[in-house]
């Protein structure tokens, strides 16, 4: 992407999302912006290559996309000069002092949406309270996920009058819109008679812990297909080696779907197809949670009515985990033994599996409404654009 060379000038609405999770949550907002932006371009910045690939896959040339240059003033000035943002929309907790200062100097409204402040971030900002003016002053409005986050933002210095509860945009995501018809067709053609366990967004140290258990499950359930989707696609070869060591026959999604023996494991080595895998799952495990990574998006499989498991490390999704656990649709497991017992129970009890998945799906439907509240905030600043 270079450093935003001079050339064609734009007038834009700028949305900054860090990684895949934040981008997915922002999709309903971006779709609404595209419908109402008028002559303005929608500029999306991300910091990870996987999020970048997903932006291109979901929106293509409907939006402008560049990588975020972190908080480097010289490059940020060039980006702002080139894309001329009329407002900046930040997702969750993206408080970059230099970026915010530049926006304040150029009178660009800064709107923090789907805002959250984890215990860790809250404690860190409290320690830096004397320096918070650098990120407090420039923020125009905050739409927080819940009242607890409202109180935390207020305690670190944000005026109460600029903060309101808007709810969690992750409940608004329509995962069906991103399904791959081709992959769904392949599942229907080749695996329609198999139960499917999806281990999604797995991280280093998790696959190696689960692999022996997955081998035992495969022996216990003769028609079980295991789908493993590493959080980072560059780790697929590593996961493949672990499958071979566990004597599990594996197949990569990107390879031609031809085999002498049906695979035990399908390894997802493509971007943007995890939702499709969840949509055909019998049971799901959401990774980043068995090791201390903070967890991944537990809403995605349950959106499709799939009862799910997660490990004990889910700090990044505390509210979602709490709500879904209360329905029974999400079960928190402490170790590999509990993983084996819970997956076995769910695979053996069709009615229970369907009932739990249905409860979780109904909860997600009941929590919607944050998109309209968020758009109301954004629309208040349209006159400035």
CA-based angle 272:277:283, to the nearest 5?
A: 140
Question: What whole-number distance in Å separates Cα of residue 129 and Cα of residue 317?
Answer: 25
- With CA atoms as reference, report the closest residue to 227 among 253, 260, 190, 259: 253
Question: How many alpha carbons lie under 13 Å from residue 162 in its C-beta half-sphere?
Answer: 19
d(CA 87, CA 37): 11
Distance CA 291, CA 139 (A): 35
Is the backbone of residue 150 left (phi > 0), alpha (psi -120 to 50) or beta?
alpha
Question: What residues have CB less than 8 Å from 125, skipping those under 6 apart?
Answer: 117, 132, 156
365 is catalytic: no
Residue 9: CB atoms within 10 A of its CB come to 9
Active-site residue among 22, 92, 206, 273? 22
CB-CB contact of 250 with 211 (8 Å): no
Catalytic positions = 22
């Amino acid at each position: 992407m270079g450093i935003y060379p001079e050339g064609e000038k734009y007038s834009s609405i700028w949305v900054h999302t860090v990684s895949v999770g934040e981008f997915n949550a922002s999709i309903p907002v971006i779709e609404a912006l595209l419908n109402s932006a008028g002559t303005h371009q929608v500029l999306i910045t991300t910091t990870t290559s996987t999020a970048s690939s997903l932006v291109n896959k979901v929106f293509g040339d409907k939006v402008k996309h560049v990588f975020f240059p972190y908080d480097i003033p010289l490059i940020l000035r060039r980006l702002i000069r080139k894309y001329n943002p009329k407002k900046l929309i930040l997702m969750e907790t993206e408080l970059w002092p230099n970026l915010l200062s530049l926006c304040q100097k150029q009178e660009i409204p800064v709107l923090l949406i789907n805002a959250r402040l984890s215990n860790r971030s809250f404690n860190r900002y409290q320690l830096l309270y004397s320096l918070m003016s650098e990120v407090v002053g420039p923020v125009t409005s905050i739409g927080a996920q819940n009242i607890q986050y409202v109180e935390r933002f207020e305690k670190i210095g944000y005026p109460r009058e600029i903060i309101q509860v808007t709810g969690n945009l992750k409940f608004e995501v329509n995962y069906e819109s991103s399904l791959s018809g081709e992959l769904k067709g392949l599942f229907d053609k080749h695996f329609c008679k198999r139960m499917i366990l999806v281990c999604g967004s797995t991280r280093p140290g998790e696959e190696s812990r689960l692999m022996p258990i997955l081998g035992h499950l495969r022996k216990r359930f003769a028609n079980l297909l295991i789908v493993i989707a590493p959080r980072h696609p560059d780790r697929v070869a590593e996961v493949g080696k672990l499958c071979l060591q566990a004597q599990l026959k594996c197949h990569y999604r990107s390879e031609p779907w031809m085999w002498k023996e049906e695979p035990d494991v399908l390894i997802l080595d493509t971007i943007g197809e995890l939702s499709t895998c969840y949509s055909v799952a019998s049971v799901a495990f959401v990774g980043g949670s068995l090791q201390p990574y903070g967890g991944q998006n537990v809403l995605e499989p349950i959106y499709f009515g799939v009862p799910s498991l997660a490990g004990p490390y889910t700090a990044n999704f505390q509210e979602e985990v709490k709500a879904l656990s209360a329905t029974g649709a999400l079960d928190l497991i402490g170790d590999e033994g509990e993983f084996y017992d819970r997956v076995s129970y769910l695979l053996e009890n069709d009615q229970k599996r369907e009932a739990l998945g249905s409860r979780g799906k109904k909860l997600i439907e009941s929590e919607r409404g944050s998109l309209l509240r968020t758009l109301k905030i954004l629309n208040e600043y349209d006159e400035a654009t």
